[in-house]
């Protein structure tokens, strides 16, 4: 079906959408078995890798907007995967920490996650994957919005 619509293949927004779906599909399937979403998984991994963080930094590192993150942190707290405490000196801020259960959830799925990454590298080609990542990062680094 899709090959009869050549235009959309040259549309960058749609190409990015399709590529993302291709990569995320298997990951989502894996996470669905454990009962966490792709976004919740990102938050947990950031916390596991970098330790206690405040919500603003979590949002930046996991590429989530603050309103989304607010809801996700509530969900993760309910699930017992994170804890939140007040910041010692700045009462506007919080400190979020992953719990042992959260770390366990990551440990239970990290191997499969790495297997999916390896499959991608092998199937798509390590050279092409690196080239793609380079281009995407360059694109993201483009200076400013085209408001001229």
Partner DNA sequence: ATCTTGCTATTAACATGTTAAGTAAACTAT
Partner DNA sequence: ATAGTTTACTTAACATGTTAATAGCAAGAT
Question: What CA dihedral angle connects 144, 57, 106 and 51, to 10 degrees?
Answer: 140
Are the C-beta atoms of residues 76 and 43 closer than 8 Å to each other? yes
User: Does 132 engage in binding with a copy of itself (CB under 8 A)?
Assistant: yes
Residue of the chain from 85, 108, 123, 126 that contacts a copy of itself (CB under 8 A): 123
Number of helices (H), then strands (E), in the chain: 7, 2
Residue of the chain from 7, 78, 88, 111 that contacts a copy of itself (CB under 8 A): 7
User: Does 67 engage in binding with a copy of itself (CB under 8 A)?
Assistant: no
Q: Binding string to DNA for residues 15 to 54, with x set by CB under 7 A, is what?
A: ------x--x---xx--x----x-xx-------------x
Are the C-beta atoms of residues 96 and 58 closer than 8 Å to each other? yes
User: Does 23 engage in binding with a copy of itself (CB under 8 A)?
Assistant: yes
* Separation CA 16–CA 51 (nearest Å): 31
User: Does 83 engage in binding with DNA (CB under 7 A)?
Assistant: no
Binding site for a copy of itself (CB under 8 A): 1-2, 5, 7-10, 12-27, 29, 38, 42, 49, 57, 60-61, 63, 115-116, 119-120, 123-124, 128-129, 131-133, 135-140, 142-143, 145-148
């Amino acid at each position: 079906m899709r090959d009869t619509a050549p235009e959309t293949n040259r549309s960058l927004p749609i190409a990015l959408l399709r590529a993302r779906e291709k990569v995320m599909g298997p990951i989502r399937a894996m996470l669905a078995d454990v009962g966490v979403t792709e976004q919740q998984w990102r938050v947990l991994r950031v916390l596991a890798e970098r330790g206690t963080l405040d919500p603003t930094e979590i949002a930046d590192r996991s590429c989530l907007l603050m309103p989304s993150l607010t809801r996700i942190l509530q969900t993760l707290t309910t699930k017992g995967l994170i804890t939140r405490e007040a910041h010692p000196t700045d009462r506007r801020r919080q400190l979020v920490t992953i719990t042992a259960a959260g770390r366990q959830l990551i440990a239970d799925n990290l191997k499969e996650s790495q297997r999916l990454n390896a499959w991608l590298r092998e199937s798509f080609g390590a050279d092409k994957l690196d080239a793609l990542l380079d281009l995407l990062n360059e694109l993201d680094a483009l200076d400013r919005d085209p408001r001229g």
